[in-house]
Amino acid sequence: MEIAYVLYPNLTALDLVGPFEVLGCVPVVNAKFVAASLDPVKSDNGLTVVPTHTFADVQSADVVVVPGSGHWKQVLAESAELVAWLQAVHPTTKWTTSVCTGSTLLAEAGLVSKATTHWAARDELTARDVEVSTDRVVFDGKVVTGAGVSAGIDMALRLVEAEFGVQVAQTVQVGIEYDPQPPHAYSSIPAEVEENLRAFFAASSQS
């Protein structure tokens, strides 16, 4: 199974690495890291990833994984080449997936009708006539979207289950010891925390 991980400047590293680690546990998976060029790509927090293929090199893939970015407004504004590639490769895929604000790129490409994303970017989906879900993982036909950042691990585990069965997914989950126990409750976000984050995202997404 060939998986194309999409790279672009300012992607969020965990959006990429989380699914890669999960899906890489399945022996039949072959990963490609696809970008506009073979130049190294720097994430929004500074991690550098080297592409293995260009968009021109990859005409088809079994699975496409599109990470998000903390700079999603800027990414959307500069996404024409990436969006065109997604539109071209999507008909060949068995699964087209995204993590976090990567779903806004799928929406920009017109590939999804219902999706989840990072809570701060839901308006971007609504503006593109996509039904917004607050679920952690959403299946919309062969399009699978994960919510913010860490949800990429959940998305990939759900994908492994859909493709290889429950036992394989459980084996991978136990193998990576994925058992989230966050120190703070997530169900109720303090207003001050949300306001601070929205201000940070607004500044970073325009930079």
Q: Which residues are catalytic?
A: 100
User: What backbone torsions phi and psi does residue 156 show, to the nearest 5 degrees?
Assistant: -65, -40
What tokens were used for 77? Answer: 């504004």
The DSSP-derived string for the chain is -EEEEE--TTB-HHHHHHHHHHHTTSTT-EEEEEESSSS-EE-TTS-EE--SEETTT-S--SEEEE--BTTHHHHHHT-HHHHHHHHHHGGG-SEEEEETTHHHHHHHTT--SEE---GGGHHHHHTTT-EE--SSEEEETTEEEE-STTHHHHHHHHHHHHHH-HHHHHHHHHHTT-----SS-SSS--HHHHHHHHHHHHHHHH-
